[in-house]
Amino acid sequence: MTRVVGYVAMAEAVSFLVLLLAMVVKYGFDEPLGVEIMGPVHGALFLGFVGLAMIVGGQARWHWRKFAVVLASSVVPVAGWVVGHRLLQEAVPKVAS
């Protein structure tokens, strides 16, 4: 399940950046269509990410600091990508040599 949280974190980060760009277009060029589309998409990804993080964090017994960093990454545009990438690396099983 940690892999799913990682993928959703990365998708949420990308949708956040696209939404910010759509806001620039809306207020700079008076074209609200991008925000009307990306607003709900980003909102759904954000809620899905937070919900999954709570479920997986509880099941995996994440330390409270890790849980706080994962949740905080959802409100900083690029941090979700970094945390998602780290969660994906963490989910890969280690091969004993």
- pLDDT, tens digit, 9 for 90 and up, residues 5-32: 889 999 999 999 999 999 999 999 999 9
Identify the band that residue 87 occupies on the pLDDT scale cut at 50, 70 and 90: confident
* For residues 34-38, average pLDDT: 94
Domain ranges (residues) in the chain: 2-90
Torsion, CA 53, CA 56, CA 57, CA 62, rounded to 10: -140
Write b or e for each residue in 37-75: b if 16 or more Cβ atoms lie within 10 A of its Cβ, otherwise e: ebeeebeebbebbeebbeebbeeeebeeebbeebeebbe
**pLDDT value, residue 48:** 94
Q: What share of the chain is helix, strand, coil (3-state, %, to 5)?
A: 80, 0, 20
Res 97 pLDDT > 80:
no
Provide the whole-model pTM.
0.83
